[in-house]
Amino acid sequence: MRLGDLVGATLGEFLGRLLWRAGAALLVVVAVLAAIYHLTAAGTLALTAHYGALNAYLFVGGGYAVAALIVVGILLATRRKPSGNGAVSAAALLSSPRGAQVALLLEAAMIGFLAAKKTSTS
C-alpha cells in the first residue's frame, strides 16, 4: 500500500465520521427548532384563552427575552479573560529573588527525581 492510498483512506474515514456527526447535529437542531415552534404555538393558544391574544404574545416574547438574557449572561460569565488581569508572569516571578529561589528549588527537586529513576537497584 502506497503512502497516498494510506492518506486517502485515513482522510476518507475521518471525513466520513465528520459528515455523519454533522448530519446528526443538523437533525437534532431541526428537531429542537420544530419542538420550540410547536411549544410556542401551543403556549400561545393556551395563554390566549386566559389572557387574550395580545397578552399571550407578550408573555411568550417575554419568555424568549428572558431566555436570551440568561444565555448572554452565561456567555459573558464564561468568556475567556484577558491575560493582563493581575496574573503574575513567569518573567516577573523569576526577576524577584524569592521567585528565583523557588524556581531553583523546584528544578533541583526535578533533577533529583530524574537521577533517582535512572539508577538501577540491582
**Structural domain for 111, as ranges:** 91-122
pLDDT digits (tens, 9 = 90+) for 41-94: 999 999 999 999 999 999 999 999 999 999 999 999 998 876 655 556 667 766
Q: Is residue 76 part of a domain?
A: no
65: in domain: no
Q: How far is CA 116 from CA 106, 113, 121, 122, in A?
A: 15, 5, 10, 14
Tell me how far apart the alpha carbons of residues 105 and 112 are, in angstroms, rounded to a whole number. Answer: 11
Domain count, the chain: 1
Taking the whole predicted model, whether its pTM rises above 0.75 is answered as no
Please report whether residue 113 resides in a domain: yes
C-alpha closest to that of 57 among 66, 68, 71, 46: 46
User: Is residue 119 one of the residues assigned to a domain?
Assistant: yes
CA distance 23 to 102: 53
In angstroms, rounded to a whole number, what is the distance separating the alpha carbons of residues 23 and 109? Answer: 52
> The C-alpha cell of 53 is what?
391574544
Give domain status of residue 96, yes or no: yes
Q: Report yes or no on 97 lying in a domain.
A: yes
- Cα 50 to Cα 9: distance, rounded to the nearest angstrom: 62
**80 falls within a domain:** no
* Residue 111: inside a domain: yes
What is the pLDDT of the chain when averaged over all its residues?
A: 85
